[in-house]
Each structure stands twice: as C-alpha cells, then as structure tokens.
Amino acid sequence: MASLSVRKIDDETLVQLRVRAARHGVSMEEEARRILKQAVAAPERLGDLAVRVFSPAYGGTELDLPEREVTEPLEFPR
C-alpha cells in the first residue's frame, strides 16, 4: 500500500481533523483516509442518497408532510 505525506496543514484544519477523528472514535490518520476515500469515490445515485438521508435505519429524518387535497379533474369545453 502507498503512503502520502501532507505538509503545510494549517492549525485550525488540524484541530478540526482531531475533533472529527475523536467523534468517530478513530485515529487522525484513519479519519484522513476515510475523508480522502469519500472525496474520490463515485458520486452516489440520487435514490441511494435519499435512502441514506431519510431512512430511519440510517438515523434519517421523518418528514411531516401535509395532507393531500383531493381535487376533481378539470373539465375542458369541447
């Protein structure tokens, strides 16, 4: 496996990486690997993104949708 060194990372970015890694329970190196992998991965399909964002299985959000109104079809003169 290849290695990569990154120089000249500003202090604030390093702090944010450290915090993010701690939040995910991994090392800073592992967090950087995950970020890089996600950044170069193929974009998600829209349906997959919707499932990830809204599915309760993934901690998604339940939407409160308004009741649908039933309307009669329009009649056009002949």
Question: Residue 72 domain-assigned?
Answer: no
Question: Residue 33 domain-assigned?
Answer: yes
| Burial state string for 1-27 with b = 16 or more CB within 10 A and e = fewer than 16 | eeeeeeeeeeeeeeeebeeebeeeeee
| pLDDT over 80 at 33, yes or no | yes
Range of the domain at 36: 11-58
Give residue 9's pLDDT: 95
The arithmetic mean of pLDDT across residues 16-38, rounded, is: 96
Mean per-residue pLDDT of the chain: 88
Question: Residue 41 domain-assigned?
Answer: yes
Cα diameter, the chain? 75
- Whole-model pTM? 0.56
Question: Residue 4 domain-assigned?
Answer: no
| pLDDT over 70 at 61, yes or no | no
Question: Residue 21 domain-assigned?
Answer: yes
The arithmetic mean of pLDDT across residues 26-46, rounded, is: 91
Q: Calculate Rg over the CA atoms of the chain.
A: 23
Give residue 65's pLDDT: 85
Tokens 């009741």 correspond to what residue? 67
Say how many domains are in the chain. 1
| H or E element at residue 47 | helix 46-54
Question: Residue 15 domain-assigned?
Answer: yes
